């Protein structure tokens, strides 16, 4: 399995917004990339970048310093990558790898816009900042794929996708999934309130239940986890049956993921 040692040379993080900052924090927390090996390009001051600067990272140095870069991590908004990359490309060496964490922008589109550098796409969640993220990786280039894994496996549960077309679905499930769970938790709290709980108590119970469920999941199958709680004829089973009535839970989530996939492709 590749490790951080397989990335030989500076790692350039282009963009330090919400996701870029989370990646930066995760690298420093996990020791995946030493601060002294980081170059951060950001148009505005960001707390995560300033923390990295204090540890030895270079912030917005002259572009000539990019000539030795091993990896260029594109963490900018999908609509901006072309104008951001245009001034950088002339300074990149032939063995540099382009690592994109942008939703919806395909490898052929990137190659058309920036030339023939190896490309790896990674879609991480912001949980990488705590070393507990999720990341989907795809590349047509074996070395680029190994580098993508090396940069994210230490801080994320990582899956390698067999085909780039699956990246939009993986993004809709994992990249967006945390927000779905939060929305479900909010709805569960409001349902508890409707059943008679005060709002504060309902919020505490719903949030704590989500945390407890996540901590208890382990590697067991999901059906086994449900069966562990839902006794035949019990109240949990009654609630699950209500959720599943007429296939509405499955239909709702099918629509949710399909809508996110559609939007990912539109952004690309």
List residues forming the annotated binding site for NADP(+): 42, 75-78
Other CB atoms within 10 Å distance of the CB of residue 114: 19
CA distance 187 to 238: 18
DSSP annotation of 248 reads: H
What separation in angstroms does the CA of 113 have from each of 11, 82, 122, 142, 268?
21, 7, 18, 21, 13
Task: Compute the radius of gyration of the chain from its Cα atoms.
Answer: 21
- For residue 41, give the H/E element and its range: strand 38-41
CA distance 155 to 132: 6
What are the tokens at 138?
């795809």
Largest Cα separation within the chain, whole Å, is 69
Q: Which residues are annotated as a binding site?
A: 42, 75-78
What are the tokens at 76?
């900018």
State how far Cα 28 lies from the chain centre.
17
DSSP string, 106-150: -HHHHHHHH-S--EEEEEE-GGGGGT-EEEEEEESSHHHHHHHHH
Q: Which of 119, 6, 10 is nearest to 56 (CA)?
A: 10
């Amino acid at each position: 399995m590749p490790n951080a040692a397989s990335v030989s040379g500076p790692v350039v993080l282009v963009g330090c917004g919400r996701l870029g900052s989370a990646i930066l924090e995760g690298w420093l927390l996990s020791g995946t990339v030493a601060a002294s090996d980081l170059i951060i390009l950001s148009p505005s001051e960001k707390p995560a970048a300033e923390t990295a600067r204090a540890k030895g990272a270079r912030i917005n140095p002259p572009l000539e310093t990019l000539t030795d870069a091993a990896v260029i991590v594109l963490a900018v908004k999908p609509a901006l990558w072309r104008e951001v990359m245009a001034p950088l490309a002339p300074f990149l060496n032939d063995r540099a790898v382009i690592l994109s964490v942008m939703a919806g922008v395909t490898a052929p589109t990137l190659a058309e816009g920036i030339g023939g550098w190896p490309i790896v796409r990674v879609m991480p969640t912001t949980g990488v900042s705590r070393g507990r993220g999720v990341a989907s990786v795809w590349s047509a280039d074996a070395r680029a794929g190994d580098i993508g894994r090396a940069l994210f496996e230490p801080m994320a549960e990582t899956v390698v996708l067999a085909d780039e077309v699956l990246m939009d679905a993986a993004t809709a499930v994992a990249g967006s999934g945390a927000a779905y769970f939060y929305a479900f938790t909010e709805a569960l709290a409001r349902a508890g309130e409707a059943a008679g709980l005060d709002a504060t108590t309902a919020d505490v119970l719903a949030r704590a239940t989500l945390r407890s469920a996540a901590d208890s999941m382990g590697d067991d199958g999901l059906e086994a986890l449900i069966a562990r709680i839902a006794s035949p004829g019990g109240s949990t089973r009654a609630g699950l049956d209500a959720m599943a009535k007429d296939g509405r839970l499955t239909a709702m989530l099918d629509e949710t993921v399909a809508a996110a996939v559609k939007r990912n492709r539109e952004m690309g």
